[in-house]
């Protein structure tokens, strides 16, 4: 068969294109929006002058390929055009919606979750049907049954609840409705967990004896107690030496540099339960501890020991396990268990050593530094714990006039203490007594022990072990204006007095999740009510009714963050 001339093929293509265009321009038929585009494309390919190639190619072969491609494209577009014309309108709308709806959903999700700020509210109605089905407060042994379908009573000192925390949330506001059934000089605090191990930071939400706090001069959150000093902002206070700051906040005092700390300390005075020590050391730490369970209560009695830096970072920890007796049995079967804590390459300075509370005794502490002090002691060499009554001697240095607080839970702890050639008659149990100390050094002799000592200073077991760890003394307040005036130069607090609501009180406090470094696990934050007076047998009748907890978690959006940045 004779091959068709390329010029003829071009003419055929022109005729085909002309027919298609005529058909498209027919007024009885919808004009295609892209017919002009292909006409322009065709004219561009075949109307512009050809450039002479460097290597001459056969004209017929090159032209045939171009014409064939044009024909295929025209046929394909004609077919697609026809399908578009005959396709029902509602089908085209559905296809468009199928594309637009996911885009709109994604846009809304991005807007709602990233661009705008959101508040998440959780209302825990204590005493409601929801609370009866799934109690908000735990453990149940520390709260009462529901009273009058309205509230529960908090029975013991630590009561917990959890709050959902959406990702990227920054602040949490907690309002609590409760009743004032507090003894004098007591406090109700709200704690938020800030470490993986058991550790909480606290905000006070009620001081029973601070209704007259407004009598003091105030600058920001700083109250002036010692009127012989100047009222200054907190950043200036932390540059001063030898002042006493009572605070419920997390303040970081400036550490002192200590000389002649090298050596070893052996403490063989028995201590009851948890204690916190400050030590001064450099290089490697070696700590040996002996503990003994007393097994007065069911469940296991592990002793956890933690070493922290001044920025509260955990450096090392260890656990001395339970002695194997998890039910109340004969106390004389308890064994003495050893444990060791090691840490290496410690920069020289002050460190905090924490022994967690447990149902047992710390029988001995051996550490490779001479400098070790504590802000409180529970002396336990007593027949109450099946030990020999052994006299204890405690050293302290009062940098200002202060009150030494003493407390015992048993009649065997009633005794006479001697200090500075004086005698103090400690004559009652379950209720604290206060011993006034003027500025100076003291060695306090305690003949029968079973007594808790605490004050706005530090104790050691010898004068050689004593040191001042910080330029300022940061102390926990005793929550009465009288106590503040007797023990502190300044009081620093963000405390806001609760408002009255009929016969109830409503408190409000907040935490910054990021700045306070709160520990959120599985999008849950653990919070607790700390009610210290309920840990004392004499105050067991002062239970605290709680009606509801209203929680607002704030998650800032990008707009809010940009505004803060500007």
Which of 41, 34, 27 minimizes the C-alpha distance to 78?
A: 34
> What dihedral angle (degrees, nearest 10) is formed by the CA atoms of 407, 411, 417, 423?
110
Q: Do residues 374 and 458 lie in contact, with contact meaning Cβ atoms separated by under 8 Å?
A: yes
End-to-end C-alpha distance for the chain, whole angstroms: 81
**Residue 34's pLDDT is what?**
46
What does the pLDDT look like over 432-460, one tens digit per residue? 899 999 999 999 999 999 999 998 899 99
Residue 113, token pair as written in the block: 């979750």
The residue ranges of every structural domain in the chain are 6-47+61-86, 118-210+495-563, 265-469
Based on its alpha-carbon atoms, the radius of gyration of the chain, rounded to whole angstroms, reads 39
Q: Do residues 24 and 31 lie in contact, with contact meaning Cβ atoms separated by under 8 Å?
A: yes
∠ at Cα 332 (141, 431), nearest 5°? 50
* Alpha carbons within 13 A on the beta-carbon side of 332: 2
Lowest-pLDDT choice from 94-103, 362-371, 505-514? 94-103
**Residue 47's pLDDT is what?**
53
Does residue 403 carry a pLDDT above 70? yes
**Residue 325's pLDDT is what?**
83
Q: Do residues 356 and 247 lie in contact, with contact meaning Cβ atoms separated by under 8 Å?
A: no
Lowest-pLDDT choice from 322-326, 416-420, 506-510, 549-553? 322-326
CA distance 92 to 86: 11
Average pLDDT over residues 400-424: 90
**Residue 400's pLDDT is what?**
86
Helix (H) or strand (E) holding 291: strand 275-293
* Structural class in CATH, domain 118-210+495-563: mainly beta
Helix (H) or strand (E) holding 61: helix 59-86
CA distance 380 to 450: 5
What does the pLDDT look like over 137-191, one tens digit per residue? 999 999 999 999 899 999 999 999 999 999 989 999 999 999 999 988 788 999 9
What does the pLDDT look like over 238-282, one tens digit per residue? 889 989 999 988 888 889 999 999 999 999 999 999 999 999 999
What does the pLDDT look like over 25-37, one tens digit per residue? 555 554 444 455 5
Q: Do residues 536 and 197 lie in contact, with contact meaning Cβ atoms separated by under 8 Å?
A: no
Q: Do residues 71 and 17 lie in contact, with contact meaning Cβ atoms separated by under 8 Å?
A: no
Of the two residues 351 and 15, the one the predictor is more confident about is 351
Of the two residues 100 and 133, the one the predictor is more confident about is 133
- Over the chain, what is the mean pLDDT? 85
**Residue 549's pLDDT is what?**
97
- Has this prediction a pTM greater than 0.75? no
Task: Say which DSSP state 209 is in.
Answer: B
Q: Do residues 479 and 209 lie in contact, with contact meaning Cβ atoms separated by under 8 Å?
A: yes
**Residue 63's pLDDT is what?**
62
Average pLDDT over residues 403-411: 91
What does the pLDDT look like over 82-95, one tens digit per residue? 555 565 666 767 76
What does the pLDDT look like over 291-315, one tens digit per residue? 999 888 777 889 999 999 988 899 9
Of the two residues 423 and 312, the one the predictor is more confident about is 423
Does residue 62 carry a pLDDT above 70? no
Residue 332, token pair as written in the block: 């004389």
Residue 461, token pair as written in the block: 């077991």
CA distances from 326 to 47, 106, 318, 380 (A): 99, 56, 20, 22
Strands 171-178 and 158-164: unpaired
Q: Do residues 506 and 498 lie in contact, with contact meaning Cβ atoms separated by under 8 Å?
A: yes
What does the pLDDT look like over 333-391, one tens digit per residue? 688 999 999 999 999 999 999 999 888 999 999 999 999 999 999 999 999 998 988 89
**Residue 337's pLDDT is what?**
94
Residue 53 preceded by cis peptide, ω within 30: no
Q: Is 47 helix (H, G, I), strand (E, B) or coil?
A: helix
| Number of alpha helices (DSSP H) and beta strands (DSSP E) in the chain | 8, 31
Q: How confident is the model at residue 81 (pLDDT cuts 50, 70, 90)?
A: low
- The long-range contacts involving 537-542, CB below 8 angstroms and separated by at least 24 positions, are 537/409, 537/430, 538/430, 538/431, 539/183, 539/186, 540/155, 542/181, 542/182, 542/183, 542/186
């Amino acid at each position: 068969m004779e091959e068709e001339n390329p010029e003829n093929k071009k003419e055929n293509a022109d005729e085909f294109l002309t027919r298609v265009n005529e058909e498209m321009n027919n007024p009885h038929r919808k004009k295609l929006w892209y017919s002009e585009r292909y006409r322009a494309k065709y004219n561009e390919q075949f109307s512009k002058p050809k450039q002479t190639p460097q290597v001459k190619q056969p004209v017929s072969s090159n032209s045939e390929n171009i014409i064939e491609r044009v024909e295929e494209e025209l046929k394909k577009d004609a077919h697609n055009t026809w399908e578009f014309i005959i396709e029902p309108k509602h089908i085209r709308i559905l296809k468009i919606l199928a594309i637009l709806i996911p885009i709109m959903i994604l846009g809304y999700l991005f807007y709602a979750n990233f661009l705008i700020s959101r508040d998440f509210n959780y209302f825990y109605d204590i005493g409601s049907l929801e609370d009866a089905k799934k109690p908000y407060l735990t453990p149940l042994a520390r709260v009462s049954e529901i009273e009058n379908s309205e509230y529960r009573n908090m029975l013991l000192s630590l009561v917990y609840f959890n709050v959902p925390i959406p990702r990227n949330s920054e602040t949490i506001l907690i309002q609590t409705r409760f009743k004032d059934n507090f003894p004098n000089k007591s406090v109700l605090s709200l704690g938020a967990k800030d470490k993986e191990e058991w550790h909480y930071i606290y905000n006070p939400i009620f001081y029973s004896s601070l209704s007259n706090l407004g009598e003091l001069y105030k600058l920001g959150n700083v109250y002036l107690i010692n009127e012989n000093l100047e009222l200054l902002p907190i950043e200036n206070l932390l540059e001063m030496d030898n002042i006493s700051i009572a605070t419920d906040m997390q303040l970081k005092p400036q550490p002192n540099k200590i000389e002649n700390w090298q050596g070893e300390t052996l403490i063989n005075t028995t201590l009851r339960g948890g204690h916190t020590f400050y030590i001064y050391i450099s290089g490697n730490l070696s700590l040996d501890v002996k503990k003994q369970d007393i097994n007065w209560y069911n469940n296991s009695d592990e002793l956890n020991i933690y070493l922290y830096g001044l920025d509260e970072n955990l450096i090392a920890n260890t656990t001395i396990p339970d002695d194997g007796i998890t039910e109340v049995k004969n106390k004389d079967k308890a064994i003495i268990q050893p444990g060791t804590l090691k840490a290496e390459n410690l920069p020289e300075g002050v460190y905090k050593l924490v022994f967690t509370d447990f149902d047992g005794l710390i029988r001995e502490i051996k550490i490779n530094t001479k400098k070790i002090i504590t802000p409180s002691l529970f002396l336990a060499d007593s027949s109450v714990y099946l030990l020999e009554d052994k006299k204890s001697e405690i050293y302290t240095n009062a940098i200002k006039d202060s009150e030494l607080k003493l407390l015992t839970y048993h009649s065997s702890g009633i005794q006479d203490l001697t200090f500075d050639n004086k005698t103090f008659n400690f004559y009652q149990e379950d209720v604290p007594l206060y011993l006034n100390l003027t500025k100076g050094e003291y060695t306090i002799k305690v003949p029968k022990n079973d007594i808790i000592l605490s004050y706005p200073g530090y104790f050691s077991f010898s004068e050689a072990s004593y040191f001042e760890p910080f330029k300022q003394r940061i102390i926990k307040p005793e929550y009465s204006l009288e106590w503040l005036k007797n023990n502190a130069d300044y009081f620093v607090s963000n405390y806001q007095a609760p408002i009255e609501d009929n016969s109830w009180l409503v408190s409000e406090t907040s935490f910054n999740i990021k700045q306070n470094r709160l520990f959120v696990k599985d999008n849950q934050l653990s919070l607790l009510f700390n009610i210290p007076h309920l840990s004392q047998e004499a105050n067991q009748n002062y239970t605290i009714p709680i009606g509801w907890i209203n929680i607002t978690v704030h998650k800032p959006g990008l707009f809010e963050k940009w505004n803060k940045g500007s």
